[in-house]
Structure 1
């Protein structure tokens, strides 16, 4: 049997995604179980985390398992990912050994590794988590790289809880200002899951420079076609918000300026008006608002929006715990 990983929701059918969401909802109703009894998961954090680490550690514990947290370069040796390289620099061991050794110790490996923000042609290949999946002999879970599939499931579960059937609901994925250029992972993932759920999706961004990577746009158009939804790009704030059922906010750096962020900065600075505020939300169809968190208040969204009944960001954050239990249980179940 081919080993199944959870690297991207594009590897999963709509039926499989629905099944994971149903299992997550069941865990939300009944949080404790023994699906991971006697099992362990290595959580590899190359980047900081609060919600992801907490929810994975507790999720494993709630299901009778044990989580081990490692931060390569801090409390574990720096890891080399290049094949055929002469390791005479800062790295101490190769992923070929790391992944195979961990596979002898644990039953699951989960990885969080952000792009290096220097060369998108390199970062878009997602080589860190792909290397773990290549060499590991246990299932590998994506805890955020250039996509964030666990966040996708948490978001989808929250939307289903509040809206029920998501088919053809109007969904706005809006770029927002941030003083720093951020990863496109959550934006990529929001696009993927909303189109996979058959929603009518608008990607709202200031200029064509902020359209997401062509690979993820192609996946989005494919998902929309297969699931009866739609996908379009807009630079018109009022047109995008009008009649929306969901507004999902995220900031990301413009890919044409990847690695040249000082040149991109003036464009970002000129578009602070993309903040989600009450006036924009008033254009929606009593729409929901959400964000993956962390969120800079009064930069990405106003206090009034964050504190309104329309904001389901806390529900979405809670759901990380439940969907990750579903993912871990499903992957353990194949072994």
Structure 2
């Protein structure tokens, strides 16, 4: 049996994703278990985290396992990812050794590595995550790189809980760009578009201009999901028509890809669209819709206090669900017969 990783949800069947969500709901009702008894996970953070680190560490503990946190360049050696490189610079060891050695110690590896924000043609290759998966003899989990599949499942579970059903088909879903003073990663937006279409919802990607449309790979994934799961997909630049009748509003900020690595001229363009903030007027256009965000969120920049404090905001539920879906992911991957090939 080939080793199964959790790099993105497109690699998993709908039945497999449904099974993870079902298990996550069970873990939410009964937090303690033994699915990871005697097992361990290395959590490799190239970028900071609050929710991700906390939920993975606690999740492993609650299932009887142990988590080890590593931060290359801080409490672990800087890592080289390119083959053929003469390593006479700052990097001390190669991923080929790092992943293999960690795989001798632990049963799972989680990786969090954001884009460098210099060259999208390189960042979109997701080199760090794919290199770990290439060399690791144990399953690798994406803790956010250019997608955020753990957030996808937490979001999906929160929606299923709110609507009282696993069947989200026919729900009108708006993924809206929101303003942020900095150009941010597209990972959560890529993932939200992916899971919303995977669940058969009628999805609108709302953004200021065509420059803010997501990478074609994820637009293609979304179109493929619509063909397989039903629902629909459209892009809109009109705020009021996009919000009208929406059942779900999901907000995220991201930088315009045509300016990737050249952010100075993008900023005055982005600054023109601060009115994309999610506020009470826009939410009043919805079908008593719910609002969510992956967090962290800058209040009164991305969304107003009133929206965040509304009973229709499920962002806290989604954040809590990170713990439960990640436990389901770890348990599923760790249960693979004869995990990996440890030489």
* TM-score normalized with structure 2 length: 0.97
The equivalences for 1:127-276 within 5 A come to 127-163=127-163, 164=165, 165-276=167-278
SS at match of 1:133: helix
Q: Residue 309 of structure 1: SS of its match in structure 2?
A: coil
Q: Which residue of 2 aligns with 1:37?
A: 37
Q: Distance in 2 between matches of 1:39 and 1:128?
A: 24
Q: Which moved more, 1:104-113 or 1:163-172?
A: 163-172
Query: Which whole-Å CA distance do the structure 1 matches of 2:84 and 2:233 have between them?
Result: 42
Matched, 1:291 2:293: yes
Match of 2:53 in 1: 53
Post-superposition shift, 1:83?
Answer: 1.0
- Quote the Cα distance in structure 1 between the aligned partners of 2:175 and 2:332: 29
Distance in 1, Cα, partners of 2:200 & 2:41 = 33
Aligned match of 2:93:
93
Tell me, what secondary structure is at the counterpart of 2:299?
coil
Structural RMSD (CA): 0.4
Task: State the Cα deviation string for residues 36-60 of structure 1 (Å, max 9, x = none).
Answer: 0000000000000000000000000
Tell me what 1:332 maps to.
334
1:10 aligns with 2:17: no
Q: Which consecutive unaligned segments of at least 5 residues does structure 2 have?
A: none
C-alpha distance in structure 1 between counterparts of 2:287 and 2:321, whole Å: 24
| Matched pairs, number | 335
Partner in structure 1 of residue 307 of structure 2: 305
Q: d(CA) in 2 for partners of 1:141 and 1:179?
A: 30
Instruction: Provide the C-alpha distance between the structure 2 equivalents of 1:67 and 1:168, rounded to a whole number of angstroms.
Output: 40
Distance 1:84 1:233 in 2: 42
Scaled by the length of structure 1, the TM-score of the pair is 1.00
Deviation at 1:229, TM superposition (A): 1.1
Task: Work out the CA distance in 1 between the residues paired with 2:330 and 2:84.
Answer: 33
1:65 correspondence with 2:65? yes
Q: Distance in 2 between matches of 1:218 and 1:206?
A: 20
Whole-Å separation in 1 of the counterparts to 2:130 and 2:307: 38
Cα drift, residue 182 of structure 1: 0.2
Runs of 5+ unmatched residues, structure 1: none
Which consecutive aligned stretches of 4+ in structure 1 deviate over 2 angstroms post-superposition? none
Looking at structure 2, the residues matched to 267 and 207 of structure 1 have their Cα atoms a distance apart, in angstroms, of 10
Query: What is the SS of the residue equivalent to 1:201?
Result: strand
Looking at structure 1, the residues matched to 129 and 144 of structure 2 have their Cα atoms a distance apart, in angstroms, of 9
Q: Give deviations 1:255-287, integer Å, cap 9, x for gaps.
A: 000000001001110000000000000000000
